[in-house]
A and B are shown apart, each in its own frame.
Chain A
Amino acid sequence: MPEENAGRLSVVGAGIRYAGQLTTETRNLIQNADQVFALVTDGFTLKWLAELNPRLTSLQHHYRVGRQRDESYRAMVDEVLASVRNGLRTCAIFYGHPGVYVWPSHEMIRRAHDEGYVAKMFPAISAEDCLIADLDVDPAASGWQSYEAMDFLLYGRQIDPSAALVLWQVGALGDHRRRSFVSQRHWVQSLVDRLQRWYPSGHEVVLYEAAAFPLDETRMEIVMLEVLADATLNPITTLYLPPATAPELDRERLSHLGIEESELALGEYQRSRIKG
């Protein structure tokens, strides 16, 4: 069992936008750490984080085209845990929110706990948070479904077209061996075919990419679902599908509860959704 003054692990997120989305608690954790590791997506962010704490090592060197991603992730976990075992206050920084669409962050906490170390994750701004703000949508209005695109496609998930749908990592569709970092057109077309079970022809979807750098523009490109396979999909592209239908009132439930539809006071947030 580690001693009281043994190393400990804080897992934090840098947010999506360079320099502007760091929380105060995260800044303190970074600045007070003995050793910092970072997995971020551009050189500006890495440089800026290294200025907050020069004892910073990037974890990007674990990635290699042709190497299975999971092997890279396990190597990242091993490198961070070695620092904790050396008795250092260790801070691991991830792009966006450290717990959203990130496997190694959760795994390093699990393993640190198994070995008796103090390890904790702190919340940060995720790509989903940016999407909600930039597209001006509220998960409360229609409901919210969110899947990793390939997981959605291959496991035959069912969806509710009256709720919004977000599909992540569409730029990885077709990377079924998890080692190429590119999408394949026929996989994207297969996704379109599946989505057309629920969405009508002409349904407009949004290709979203948060602006990570101040000189960048946010990508909010509207395309019709049926031509999605012709669109440019980048590693950071997220697909947002607005609801296609209105939710149906469950009259049986109303009756069970002993109330009439006319007694229902709708919230303002419910009035903005598609009318049935």
Chain B
Amino acid sequence: MSADLKGFLKSLAEDPDKLAQYKSDPDATMQDHGLSDEHQMMVKKGDKEELKKETGADDAEVQFWVV
């Protein structure tokens, strides 16, 4: 599990300015955060299953409807 990667994804989710910064310059934003090269590749690839596995997130099947 990587706390660093998890912290980075959380910071994008919590701060719209940081997300905008990432969208405009992903490499610089990830470097500023101190992400490893391996994690930078992973984020750019955007494979959620891989990201879940790396951050220790539950990958159980989920359903959406509640009515």
- Pick from B46, B61, B64: contact of A95, CB below 8 A: B64
- Docked Cα-Cα span, A155 to B19, in Å, equals 43
**In the bound complex, do residue B67 and residue A102 qualify as a contact, i.e. CB atoms below 8 Å apart?**
yes
Q: How many residues of A contact B (CB 8 A)?
A: 35
Known: A214-B13, A214-B19, A215-B43. A43 touches B63 (CB 8 A): no
Residue ranges of A at the interface with B (Cβ–Cβ < 8 Å): 17-20, 39-44, 46-48, 58, 60-61, 63, 69, 73, 94-95, 101-105, 148, 169, 172, 181, 213-215, 235-236
Q: How many residues of B contact A (CB 8 A)?
A: 28
A46 neighbours in B (Cβ, 8 Å): 57-58
Q: Which of B15, B56, B61 neighbours the largest number of chain A CB atoms within 10 Å of its CB?
A: B61
Query: What's the minimum C-beta distance from A26 to chain B, rounded to whole angstroms?
Result: 15
- Docked Cα-Cα span, A66 to B63, in Å, equals 13
**In the bound complex, do residue B63 and residue A213 qualify as a contact, i.e. CB atoms below 8 Å apart?**
no
19 A-B pairs (CB sep. < 8 Å) = A19-B14, A20-B14, A20-B15, A44-B51, A44-B55, A47-B55, A48-B10, A60-B62, A60-B63, A63-B63, A69-B65, A103-B67, A169-B67, A213-B13, A214-B19, A235-B63, A235-B64, A235-B65, A236-B64
